[in-house]
Structure 1
C-alpha cells in the first residue's frame, strides 16, 4: 500500500495529472458474438495505432473462431496520453485489458501493482520464443527482474548522413564535431549545407537526455552508482555535455535548436540543411522515400552511432534503447485471454505484419526476415546487430527514469546555451536528482 501511495504521488508530480479516467475515443467496428470473449486493447492515435489496426483485423478474421477471443482496438489521442492512461490505471478501470505504455513508465506502473507480471504466462506458452527477442529491447519491459511489458516498438537513435558529402561517416564523437565544423557555414563559407548537424533540445520531451546518454555511456559513465545514487557530474558527463556546448557555441546547429525534436530534426535533413543527424531509427522510412524526401532520398546513408576510441583501437558505442510495450492491466478480468493477444501481436506473425506497416517489433526473426528485407533492405538487420552489441536501456530506478529526464533536460539546455558552466549544470542536476530520489524513498514526494 505504501508503494502504491508513493507511485501515485510520483506520477502526479511527473505528469501534472488531473481529471478522471476517460473512456476510449474510437474503436474497431464489428459484431460481437455472445460466445466471444472481447479483449480491449488501448493504444494511441497516429502511425502506431494505424499500423496495428490491420493486424487486429487479421486476428478477428482468422483467430477469433479458433480462440473464442475478439480484439476491440481503441485509440486515445496522443496529446496527454500518459496522463489519461495513468488516470485509468489509478482508478482500477477494468474495462481495458491491454495497455500501451512507454517503457519508462513500466517501473512506476509495476511498482504500484497496476501491471500484471507476465513471466508465468510466458513460461506456459511454448510458442512464445522469448529468446527470439533482442535482449536490450526486451529489458525495457522489465522491473526488478520481472517482465511486465512486451516491446512491440523499439526505438534507438542511429546516425543518418549524406553519402555525397561524407563518404566515410564519423566513427567517433570527436570526428562528429569535426564533420559539424566542416559542414557549417559559420566556420566554412564553402560548406554545401548551412549547418553540420542538429541537437535535440526541445523542452517537455525525454529525447535530449536520451541522445546525451549515447555519449555519456560511450565515455564510460553510468547514471547511478552501485548504491543507486545519481552519478553524472564526472568526466563522462562533462565530455558528453561539452559536445552540445561546442555545437551551439560555434553555430554548427540551427539557431532555433531549442525547438528541435523528431520532426524538426527530420525536416532539417530532408531540406538539405545539415550533413548528418543523430535520429531515431523510425526516420529511415521517410528519409529513404523519394516522395517524402526528394532532395536527399538517393543520398542518405545510415551508420553506427559514433563512439569513443579505446586504447586498443576499438570504438565503444552505446545506443539508448526504449520501447513502447504491450502490458496487461492488473485490474483486467481477462488476463489469460489478454496474454494470448499480446503473444500474437508481438509474435512472429503479428509482430512481423506490424513491423512491415511501420512498427519495430524487436525479434531477431522479424528484423532479419526476408519480407522485412524486401521492404527495408538490410536496415533492420543492421539495427538488430548494432543493438545486440551496443544497446543499453536506462536503469528502472523508481521513479527516476521519467523524472531524471526532466531534470537533465533543463540542465543540458542551460549548459549548451552558455547560461551556466557544464560543471554547474551537472552539479545542479545531480543534486536535484538525489533530492528527488531521497524524497521518493521517504514517501515524501508532493
Structure 2
C-alpha cells in the first residue's frame, strides 16, 4: 500500500470519528458503529471515565468508522504503524491477520471466572490472549415445542417415526426430547415432519438448511463434524478434514437435502432466508445463529410460530455436543501511544462489573452461570448464551489464523459442491485438504 492510500485510510478514520469524553483523552479505542455493540461500548466507557480518581491521561475516547470495509481498513492502518488508536476491535476469525501488528494482553484476575476458558479462547492466537471477548455468536437448535409435544404424546406417531428412521437411517429410533437429541435423532425428526416423507406431517419441511456457498454457512454446519471428533488440524499442525467425522457431517446434510426435508432452493439460503422459512410455520426445526432468537420468538415478526419456539444446544455426536463460537472483542495496537493506560482499560473491561454493565447496556457477552445469574431477569437470553458457550463452545484448531476466512470460503465452495451433486465426497474432501495445507502453512 502506498503512502497516499495509507493517508486516505487514516483520513477516513478521523473524518468519521465520533468522540466520547474528553477531547484530550489519552486512551483511544476504535470500535464498530451502530447496533448494540456501539451502545454497550459507550455505556461502559462512560462508567470507566466517571471513576473517582481516574487520571486525565487515562480517560478513554471512542472512534468509529463504517462497518463496510472495516477489517481491510483496520489491517491497512495497523500495518502502516498507526498511532491513531490504542485499542481496536477484533474478531475471532481475523485475529491472525492482525496479530503481527498487535501485542498480547493480560486480563484481570476475574476474567476466567467471568467468561470461562472456551469464551476466552475466542480471543486467543498461538496460545496468547489478544483481547477481551465482549460479544459472542454461536449456534442453537430452534424447534416447534407444540409439534414435538404432540409427537411425544402419540403412540401411533411414534410408530411412524420408527418406521421412517429405520428406512432412511438404518436404525429404529424413538422420539425424544430435543435436549437429548443426537444428530440421528435430529435427522429422524426432520424426516418425520416432512410431508414428502410423511404425508401426515403438520409441516411441509422438517428442517431448513443454510447451504449457500458462503463462509458463514460453514460455521453453522461444522458443529456436526466437530461433534464426531473432527477438527481442522491436529496438535502437530497436520490438516485433518479428510476424516470420518467430516464425512459423517457432510453426509448428514446430503441425506436431509436429497430427502426433501429442507426446501429445494436451500442451496441459496443463508441467515435471512432460513429465518423466513422457519417463521412461515412450515418448518419444524432449524440450526441457526443465536442472533435469530429475538426475531423468531417475537409475535410481531414471527406470528405463526413465536409462541411455540423453543431453544436447545445443537445435537450430540460421538464426542458430545458442540457449538461453534466466535466473538468480538478489543485488543492492543502494537504502536499504541499510551499502552499503560490502554492496558488498564482492558483489565477493567474484563472484570465482572464491566461485563455486567456491558450486558445491561445491550451487549451480548457470554458469561459464566454465576455471573449471568445477576442479570438473568433483564437479559434471560444471555443465560443460555453463557451456558452453551461454556459447556459446548469450541474454536477449530487454526480458525483464528491469518487465513481462517479463506479456509471457510474454500470449504464452502467444495462442500456446497458436494451437497448439490457437482463433486463427489472424495473430490470435495481432497480439494479442501489440499487447499487448507497451502493456506494454513502460510
- For normalisation by structure 1, the TM-score amounts to 0.82
1:162 aligns with 2:150: no
The structure whose residues are more often helix, as a share, is: 2
- Contact 2:17/2:65 (8 A) holds in 1: no
**Could you tell me which residue of structure 2 aligns to residue 342 of structure 1?**
346
Q: Which deviates more, 91-100 or 387-396?
A: 387-396
Residue deviations 1:270-299, cap 9 Å, x none? 332321111122322333333333332221
1:23 aligns with 2:13: yes
Residue deviations 1:165-195, cap 9 Å, x none? 1232260111111122222233234433332
Post-superposition offset of 1:326? 0.9
Pairs within 5 Å for 1:315-394: 316-364=320-368, 368-371=372-375, 373-377=376-380, 379-394=381-396
- For normalisation by structure 2, the TM-score amounts to 0.83
CA–CA separation in structure 2 for the residues paired with 1:141 and 1:413: 29
Residue deviations 1:359-409, cap 9 Å, x none? 2223326753232x10343x4334433333332112237434222111111
**Could you tell me which residue of structure 1 aligns to residue 259 of structure 2?**
250
Post-superposition offset of 1:413? 0.5
CA shift in 2, pair 1:177/1:100, >3 Å = same
- Contact 2:231/2:396 (8 A) holds in 1: no
Q: Pick the aligned partner of 1:140 from 122, 129, 133.
A: 122
**Could you tell me which residue of structure 1 aligns to residue 207 of structure 2?**
197
Pairs within 5 Å for 1:168-207: 168-169=177-178, 171-204=181-214, 206-207=215-216
**Could you tell me which residue of structure 2 aligns to residue 11 of structure 1?**
none
- Three-state SS of the structure 1 residue aligned to 2:207 is coil
CA–CA separation in structure 2 for the residues paired with 1:335 and 1:253: 52
Q: 5+ unaligned residues in a row in structure 2: which ranges?
A: 150-176
- Three-state SS of the structure 2 residue aligned to 1:48 is helix
**Could you tell me which residue of structure 1 aligns to residue 173 of structure 2?**
none
1:54 aligns with 2:58: no
CA–CA separation in structure 1 for the residues paired with 2:371 and 2:200: 41
- Three-state SS of the structure 2 residue aligned to 1:66 is coil
1:115 aligns with 2:115: no
Q: Pick the aligned partner of 2:31 from 17, 39, 42.
A: 42
CA shift in 2, pair 1:44/1:416, >3 Å = farther
Post-superposition offset of 1:29? 4.7
CA–CA separation in structure 2 for the residues paired with 1:208 and 1:381: 25
Q: Pick the aligned partner of 2:90 from 98, 101, 104.
A: 101
CA RMSD after TM alignment: 2.7
CA shift in 2, pair 1:365/1:41, >3 Å = farther
Q: 5+ unaligned residues in a row in structure 1: which ranges?
A: 1-7, 9-16, 441-446
- Three-state SS of the structure 2 residue aligned to 1:200 is coil
